[in-house]
Every structure is written in structure tokens, then in C-alpha cells.
Amino acid sequence: MKLSILDQSLISYNQTAHEALQESMNLAKMGEELGYIRYWIAEHHAIPGLACPAPEIMLSYIGAQTKTIRIGSGAVLLPHYRPYKVAEVFNMLATLFPGRIDMGIGRAPGGSAEATNALSENFLQQVRKMPELVEELLHFVGNGFPADHEYAKLSAYPIPPIAPLPWLLGTSKKSALLAAEKGVPYAYGQFMSGNGGEEIIQQYRDHFQSRKHEQKPHVLLTVSTICAETNKKAQEIALSSLIWSLKKTNGVGDRVVPSIEEVMKYPLNEKEQKMIENMKQKIIIGDPNEVKAQLIEIQRQYKVDEMMLLTNTYTPKDRKDSYQLIADVFDLANRNDDTTTESFPID
């Protein structure tokens, strides 16, 4: 099984944003040592408890301190930006770290309405133009524009030896069909979606249009996981992020993830208990063998090529231990696949 890491750069209680970002760098380095294929970091704006609004800055920092793991955005929120600027940024990253850059693209706002308005004008209009924005971006990082296009003589310098690999991220049929139409890999966010994922992924495979001879559809599934030495400990660790999410839903959210000791004292009414149980349905929680069995079953169920793991815990140690235990049970360090040469096909 090919496994990767998604990081939201969570800020826990008694932790600064600086410390959270340092832990993100440490996680990427550890992931490389353990044999994870990719490390992606998410983009969020003005969300308390999440430290990264600019994945491209963290990727340059992380790339300089790692050697082989692929690094990327999960995702750059394209409606906020012009495709040319995004292409320049990721071409520069791909020039600095050849053959290692994934350019994950998404359409979500990534924050509150106020943050969205502060970032960009006419966000909803830009979302509706997403197919055109993606196409323009792919021309800038791929095979260029037709001779009669206004940007035909424009390049997104520097031009890297291996182009950044574009991915489209989403949770809907619309995003799946767009990825299929553009002939790019698709990352499905199972951890934040409802039912119907299998059908959405199959839609992508059925409608995939190759941009190059023999190019095939490629799907990555992102799931939330918390692994510990025992099921009991894993359940306890999971409770802090679950209660944090619950309190945010109820409008009384902490700015940072609360400690396990604190959430153990949190009184849950019957409605909240049901909400917690529903949240657990989207998280794989357990000891290494239980987590392995569930990941294998989910991969079989969704028929995906890769799995990407999101692990949010109160302490950085619990998060690292979770990734370590999963890497050990899958023996990732001894895998033989080589992903460092992935690139976007150029016609």
C-alpha cells in the first residue's frame, strides 16, 4: 500500500504557531525516514488552531530539509489567485527540488467569509470559472498555449527540469469530472465528505481523458487516522480533536486543540454524544493491526491507488507515534516503489 501524509499544521494548547510549524517540518522529515511517499500541507485562512495560510512558504522550508519525499499543497485554493502566479511559485519550487513537487489544487474558500473577501474579489465568480482557471494553470506548467493565444509567448519562469505534478482535490462529482476532463490525478477527501465516494471516484475513472498516450487515471484517498499501541489509548487520543470539532460546531470552539485531560471533563449531553459517534465514523481509530485492516478494506472499497493519512492529535508525540506505528505495520521503510520521477505529461 502506498501511504502519504496530509498535515493541517494544528496548534495545540500551550503551543505557539511557530512551534506548530516546526512540528510540521519535523513531521515531513520523519515521514521521509519512515517511507511515506508524499507530504502535503493544507491552506487555511484565519481559522483558530491552524497555522498555515501559505503552503508554498512551508514547502520551500521543508524541501530544504528533506531529500526524497514528494512535497505538495493540499491544496492551493485557486479561486483566490491568478494561475500565472501559482505556476511561477510551483515552477520555482520544482526548480529548487526537482522531481519532488506536487501541485494540489482546490476550490474551497479555506476560511471565513471575511477572510475570503479580504483575499479576493468575486470569489464565487472565480469558483464558477474553475475549469478555465485550471486549464490556464496546466498550460503554464505543462505544454504551453496554442500559437494564437494571448499568452503564447509567456512562460512561468523558471522552467524546471521536471514540471510540478498537478492534482485536483475535491469531494464532489463536479471536481471528479473536472479532474477527468483535464487528465490529472484526483485526490478525494473522504475525511470531510459524506456518502457516495465510490461513485464519485468511479465517475473520474470512467470519464478520464488522457493528455498523453498510455496515461491512466490515478486516485488518492485522504482519510483521518489515529493509531496507538492499544485501541483504548487511540480512543482517548482521538477524543481531544473530536471535542474540539464539536465545540466549534456549537459555536464555542477553543482557538487551539484542548488536552486529553480537559476533554475528559467535558460533559456531553445525549445529542453531543451522537454527534461524536457520527464524527468517529469518518475516522480510523485503533491499534496498528486494526488500523491496517481498515485501511486495506477502505482501499479495496474505493479502488484507489494511494491512501493519504490526516492525523490531528493534542500532542505532537501522539501524532508522530501514530504515523510511526502505521509505517511499521505496513513496513513502509522497505518498499521499493520510486515516485521521485512523476511529472505532468508534455505533449
Q: What is the pLDDT of residue 260?
A: 85
Say which range, 154-158, 160-164, 254-258, has the weakest mean pLDDT. Answer: 254-258
Q: What is the pLDDT of residue 212?
A: 74
Average pLDDT over residues 73-77: 96
Q: What is the 3-state secondary structure (H, E, C) of 65-101?
A: CCCCCEEEECCEEHHHCCHHHHHHHHHHHHHHCCCCE
> Do residues 72 and 40 lie in contact, with contact meaning Cβ atoms separated by under 8 Å?
yes
Residue 260's identity, in one-letter code, is I
**Proportion of the chain above pLDDT 90, given as a percent:** 78
155-192 burial code (b ≥16 CB/10 A, e <16):
ebeeebebbbbbbbbbbeeebbbbbbbbbbbbbbbbbe
Exposed/middle/buried for 265, CB within 10 Å: 0-12, 13-18, 19+? exposed
Decide if pLDDT at 26 tops 90: yes
- Report the 10 Å Cβ neighbour count for 346: 11
Decide if pLDDT at 304 tops 90: yes
Query: What angle is formed at CA 24 by the lines to CA 303 and CA 263, rounded to 5 degrees?
Result: 85
Decide if pLDDT at 341 tops 60: no
Q: How far apart are CA 141 and CA 163, in angstroms?
A: 6
End-to-end CA distance of the chain: 31
Here the contacts of 122-129 (C-beta below 8 Å, separation 24 or greater) are: 123/79, 123/80, 126/78, 126/79, 126/80, 127/79, 129/79
Average pLDDT over residues 167-182: 97
Class of domain 3-231+288-334: alpha beta
Give the model's confidence band at 253: pLDDT under 50 very low, under 70 low, under 90 confident, else very high.
low
> Do residues 187 and 121 lie in contact, with contact meaning Cβ atoms separated by under 8 Å?
no
Decide if pLDDT at 347 tops 50: no
**Annotated domain spans of the chain:** 3-231+288-334
Residue 293's identity, in one-letter code, is A
Average pLDDT over residues 54-68: 98
Mean of the per-residue pLDDT values of the chain: 92
Average pLDDT over residues 211-217: 81
More confident residue, 338 or 225: 225
Q: What is the pLDDT of residue 343?
A: 60
Report CA-CA distances (Å) from 219 to 131, 268, 306.
Answer: 19, 38, 7
Q: What is the pLDDT of residue 244?
A: 83
**Proportion of the chain above pLDDT 70, given as a percent:** 95
* 8-22, 74-88, 258-272: which is most confident: 74-88
* 28-32, 191-195, 234-238: which is most confident: 28-32
3-state secondary structure (DSSP) of residue 341: coil
Specify the DSSP class assigned to residue 111: B
Give the model's confidence band at 93: pLDDT under 50 very low, under 70 low, under 90 confident, else very high.
very high
Say which range, 100-109, 259-268, 315-324, has the weakest mean pLDDT. Answer: 259-268
- Tell me the DSSP string of 233-298: HHHHHHHHHHHHHHHHHTT---SSBPPHHHHHTPPP-HHHHHHHHHHHTTEEEE-HHHHHHHHHHH
Query: Which strand (E) or helix (H) includes residue 307?
Result: strand 306-310
Say which range, 69-73, 218-222, 250-254, has the weakest mean pLDDT. Answer: 250-254
Q: What is the pLDDT of residue 336?
A: 58
Specify the DSSP class assigned to residue 334: G
Average pLDDT over residues 34-50: 95
Q: How far apart are CA 166 and CA 183, in angstroms?
A: 10
Here the contacts of 271-275 (C-beta below 8 Å, separation 24 or greater) are: 272/246, 275/246, 275/249
Q: What is the pLDDT of residue 346?
A: 44
DSSP β-bridge partners for residue 24? none
pLDDT 10s digits, 78-87: 999 999 999 9
Decide if pLDDT at 345 tops 80: no
Q: What is the pLDDT of residue 142?
A: 87
